[in-house]
A and B are shown apart, each in its own frame.
Chain A
Amino acid sequence: MNNNVILESQVILETEGLCKYWGGLKALDDISLKFHDRELHGIVGPNGAGKSTLLNLLCGHYKPTSGRIVHEGAPIDAIKPYAFARRGIGRSFQKTNIYPNATCLENCSVAVQRRMGGSFNFLRSRHRQEVLEEIATEALEKVGLLSRRNEVAAHISYGEQRQLEIAMVLATSPCVLLLDEPMAGMGHEESQLIIELLKQLKQEYCIVLVEHDMDAVFELSDKLTVMVDGQHLTTGTVDRVRDDPRVKEAYLGQGDEVY
């Protein structure tokens, strides 16, 4: 891997001393991370390490107790949840989160429409403007769901639903993708499909990936962060992190959660 490329690429999203407390419980404690453009940043750690909490803070779902989130130079931790998506911070969810009764195309169209405008047009048919559906179709094509275009989302397979969710995020034309266990509950072949997809996507986007499948994370990540008990343990390239004795200890100390 060419290290120069990584050094040159721009910081898009950044956290400074980010904390989230639930009452006395420190779910996230003093996390400072930098996420670079066109880089896949993996986040791993045992259960309860605060990975999902971190994602929920980064996408505006939770408000931080203290600390800052900086996006392209501007602090954004005080803005409303929906405004995160408008700034181009898109996320997928741990539990499949789509519109099950709508077609795949319609799922993506909702996402496209947000930036195309016209959401307050009460009278004109939603199918009138073809550009919108074209962009939505492109997003489906990117994740390989073109053939499922007009099927109802509830009727496609679980793996395809996860792909659809990524397509929806892409349709918002994001600059940062926050992916929460996109491979959870998938079979090997389906996972492989997502891995290939992510390899393509990281050429274009800044991706933050939380994932339990260690092989996938090692294969995909340009940078890796290990978290334990809501705290930052280490960040570095995959090889460096893998050989870090503290990481082994953290995982082994937890007993069963090796992967």
Chain B
Amino acid sequence: MTTSLFFVQLINGLQYGLLLFLIASGLTLVFGVMGILNLAHGSMYMVGAYLAWYFVQQTGSFTLSAVISAIIALLIGIVVERTLIQRLYRRNHLDQVLLTIGMIFVFNALQSILWGNDPLGVQVPDAMSAAIPLTDVVEYPVYRLFVALLCVAIAAIMYYMINRTRLGMLIRAGESNREMVECLGIDISRLYTIVFAIGVMLAAVAGVIAAPMSSIVPGMGEHVLIACFVVVVIGGMGSIKGALIGALLVGLVDTFASVLLPQLSSMMIYILMAFILLIKPQGLFSS
């Protein structure tokens, strides 16, 4: 592997990892705060991608489409939490798994009713369609760099929110002690709604920005969900820091494996997971 190719793969891996982080952080946040394992989290990623495609068709602007999609996702999050997820807080894991499986079925059916089952694609926005030449033959698309930077920015905003704002303080308190938050006179159910909606929006935003880089197909949500599971299992469930490290690890391993060990590439992240489980059954950063 030449240095430049290595470099390209490194950025690819980081960029994929950061995108995974965006999705996995929502999953782990919802689990950490509310104790809910949302299997339909991947469906939100899919919904984001399809919404992005739809509104690009309608408005012609990717930016506008992204904003509308994010807002719709936020609304979906609020409605789903208020009508369904709220019933799960005192239920066991099994009920959570079933109900969210039911949600996956519904979202997949809606996707097929509204947008059909053919693969769709979104054009990379004109402003970012260029590529940066690295060497004479190797170049790197600007859009991918933008995605990586955007993810870093969102991660930084999340870090700021969780560590510096009142909402973040409540989230951290809710993670460690539910009763205490309730005793402080805070409406915990509103906090839950907000957290869930933010989680949904993060997944949908990831779907939106991933749309121009990959084709939009049925089942994309489940694919990404499983990758996120690997991420949070590696990083430790409920830990945002763990999700970041786990996502970057998975991103890099997956990318390099597809170049170096193409026969085993789609299995590599699971082998990584099994290996980490052997050493730390609760993940790298379990609380």
Is chain B in direct contact with chain A in the complex (CB below 8 A)? no
